[in-house]
Chains A and B, each alone.
Chain A
């Protein structure tokens, strides 16, 4: 009888007592508090950043309206002091989406080659080189672009394209734009090159994580190597691949230095294919030193605020897509 009582008693005690009793020792508590504190700091930093950006950009946002600023097509820090972020949002979206589209196939191909086809020594070399591209500071890529890539593209392609349109479809020239070398196309190509590593690295990881059983099942059906990749590997890795693509997209949206150096920095619409344009980060980095008027500075910070929001949305979409398409846990077996 007594034994029963103590047993019940002990159970009752365990159920009713505070959960924190589990963290009774001082070391445990200290650790859990400091981890909690550090974790909260990250969230606080993000929130504060958004608040500061909003606070400092509030003057512009109030003057031109929350959506008015988004859709304003004029950016004139000289005379009228009218500011609108529309050209930069457009420039950012065009350059990053185009860069993403251009980089996708090469990035995936490199990933499949290193993960599936190349011998180990070669894939480790390729992996390192790809990582190196990501590690090169963007200002160096920008320098290379200014002195080598852009002039070369201008002499080899842009001028000829321009001349061809001049001869055949002169009416198209405003869309083609001036072939000065520094413009939308150059920025897109450099950006595409810069984001390839992000897609590649994550795709390689995702491809390597595909279970051996899945590959063998496809091989056992009589699939060739390519058919195995198409039938078993890529569908299984699609969550990871999409995550890589979204990460690259976020990176392309936020890329500042190389783009600012190569895009030609034209602040007003209309943009053209070869001609200069501008993106949200490039206008911020180009103008913040010269902003004397309060409303100008405030507008620049407001652009930063909208950039912050766009990045946030892209990240949320990325997380959603990854969750929806990745195959882990209960869904497989």
Chain B
């Protein structure tokens, strides 16, 4: 699936000439404007505006409870599943508002893949069936297409060599790191435009973590990735852009290299250097 260029980026950082040069030739894949998520009466995030660029990795960092996961889950309308949650503002996917009244959240979620903190393979399904779960939902039944999709997705998720001989064994029988890569393969099988990752390595050992990080590096050639992480080294290693969340708002958003070397905001610097959080 190709990714059409939809919208030329306007310069979101008028105050900085350097950054505008870097991002000038990139396209916007996803953008939020004044997005608020309200749980009952409490703001999870408030007035968050964030551009997410095509085929780049955007990392969301910040202390616990700062709203980074809330923000991520609002990008594929996962909040629709919880009671008493109100969304204000807009999220544009290729310039199209996904919270518009006529938009079906199911269709939105088919275009944005998601990987969770804990690996979530369906334990009763085989590895093969896990990968094609999303494709089956869209009604693809052709065995050739499915076979091809399974191999392709598992290769993209760097899992093919480990599981090619046991595609029929249950998804729950893999190791934790393999299960997480299986979850990634399953999300990739439907060829999403954006991959949302919610602390994908927090339940994994260091070796599996570095495999997933390598994977993110290769995947960004094909997909736009938004990753929530509480590990700042990880954000520095894998991302092109970083957004620092604090108390439900974005304190700073910049290219990762800039952010980690010369943060503009005092609070960002304090967080990065471990003074709080």
Contacts and interface: CB of A to CB of B under 8 A. Distances in A.
A238 interface: yes
A298 to B, nearest CB: 49
Interface string A274-306: 000000000000000000000000000000000
A214 B183 CA distance: 11
A213 B76 contact: no
B137 A214 contact: no
B263 interface: no
A221 B187 contact: yes
Interface residues of A, number: 22
A209 to B, nearest CB: 13
Contact of A219 (B78, B113, B123, B124): B78
B150 interface: no
Nearest to B117: A213
B118 A236 contact: no
Nearest to A327: B123
B172 A327 contact: yes
A227 B137 contact: yes
A221 B134 contact: yes
B119 A221 contact: no
A3 interface: no
B120 A216 contact: yes
B109 A235 contact: no
A257 interface: no
A223 B106 contact: yes
Interface in B102-137: 106-107, 109-110, 113-114, 116, 118-120, 122-125, 133-134, 137
Contacts of A219: 78, 81, 109
A213 B123 contact: no
B126 to A, nearest CB: 12
Contacts of B119: 333
Identify the interface centre among B76, B137, B138, B172: most chain A CB within 10 Å of its CB.
B137
A231 interface: yes
A217 B107 contact: no
Interface string B28-67: 0000000000000000000000000000000000000000
Interface string A185-223: 000000000000000000000000000011111111111
A331 B137 contact: no
B89 interface: no
A238 B122 contact: no
B114 A331 contact: no
B118 A221 contact: no
Contacts of A217: 114, 116, 120, 122, 183
Contact of B110 (A214, A216, A222, A331): A222
Contacts, number: 75
Interface string B191-222: 00000000000000000000000000000000
A6 interface: no
A235 B172 CA distance: 13
A331 B123 CA distance: 8
A221 B172 contact: no
B190 A333 contact: no
Interface in A306-333: 327, 331-333
A216 B78 contact: yes
A207 to B, nearest CB: 15
A232 interface: yes
Contacts of B107: 222
B123 A332 contact: yes
Contacts of B186: 221
B224 interface: no
Contacts of B118: 213, 333
A109 interface: no
Contact of B123 (A215, A216, A218, A236): A236
A221 B109 contact: yes
Contacts of A216: 78, 81, 114, 116, 120
B187 A231 contact: no
Contacts of A214: 120, 122
Contacts of B133: 218, 221, 231
A238 B134 CA distance: 21
A137 B176 CA distance: 50
Given A220-B113, A221-B190, 17 more contacts: A215-B81, A217-B114, A217-B122, A218-B133, A219-B109, A220-B187, A221-B113, A222-B107, A222-B134, A222-B137, A222-B190, A223-B106, A223-B137, A224-B106, A231-B122, A232-B122, A235-B123
23 contacts: A213-B118, A214-B120, A215-B81, A216-B81, A217-B114, A217-B183, A218-B122, A220-B78, A220-B109, A220-B114, A220-B187, A221-B133, A222-B138, A222-B190, A224-B106, A231-B133, A232-B122, A235-B123, A235-B125, A236-B122, A236-B124, A331-B170, A332-B172
Ranked nearest first, the 3 interchain pairs of A and B with the lowest CB-CB distance are: A222-B110, A217-B120, A220-B114
